[in-house]
Amino acid sequence: MMENNQAIGIFDSGLGGLTVIRELLKALPNENIVYFGDTARVPYGNKSKKTISRFSIENADFLIKHKVKIIVVACNTSCSLSLNLLKKKYKVPVVGVIEPAVRKAVERSRGLRVGVIGTRGTIKSNVYNQALKRINKRIKIFSKSCPLFVPLIEEDWINDDITLNIGRRYLSELKKREIDTLILACTHYPLLMKAIRKIMGREVELINSAEEVAGHVKELLELSGGLRGAKQKGRCLFYVSDEPAQFVKVGGKFLGRKISCVRKV
């Protein structure tokens, strides 16, 4: 049994995890949330497994100090390389964004032709391919790393022509493969949903990992008796390792609402 008044803890390499909070606030508006964005060390996608594991443990340790009841690893790179390590290390449940997104992709794919886009670290880890094959060995998987997407988003160039042009270069290969479902294997990428849909066409199903993990967390809390009282209003605490002003400026686009207070740690 969980202590239901304790917060949900979330960490990410930067701002992307705010898309997970956005979905959690829809699914679980009564829950308290503690978020840590490692903005001093973003991006994670071009770093080694050893480095990612160290960063992930440090991030989780910070959340544990806030006595969270569950840890959500919102960074796909950390999930790919460190999730099992974190699950073994901590007593609280540790969940990632990969499995919920994979299950939804297999469910929605009509022709079993699934694309996966993410950082170099996520794609190189092959974790999405393995997870998809565990569910259905007949599935055809086409992966593509898109390393420029995260810095473009964090520079707030979401609607810029340069972002659309880079997106076309990245996604043209997947479009030729005639995929019917595309997993956005980075929590930053939902902000590019409009551009990605424009490039891929409306016939391709886009899987938002942030939305899927929010539903998974709700299910876990319901099963464990960890839901907070329905009459209580939840609150969010935001912490970053660098540039809180930039986090406030750009973070509101990820969260879908204004961020009023961020603390640097």
Contact (CB, 8 A) for 232 and 28: no
Residue with tokens 């022509």: 161
For 1, the 3-state DSSP assignment is: coil
What's the burial of 15, exposed, middle or buried (CB within 10 Å: 0-12/13-18/19+)? buried
Report how far Cα 44 is from the mean position of its chain's Cα atoms: 13
The one catalytic residue among 146, 186, 236, 261:
186
Give the contacts of 77 (CB within 8 A, at least 6 positions apart): 13, 44, 45, 47, 52, 118, 119, 121, 122, 125
Residue with tokens 């770093």: 47
Rounded Cα distance between 65 and 204, Å, is 42
Look at residues 222, 241, 247, 224 and name the one whose alpha carbon lies nearest to residue 154.
Answer: 247
Look at residues 172, 104, 114 and name the one whose alpha carbon lies nearest to residue 143.
Answer: 114
186 catalytic, yes or no? Answer: yes
Residue with tokens 């679980």: 28
The one catalytic residue among 75, 79, 146, 236:
75
Positions marked catalytic? 75, 186
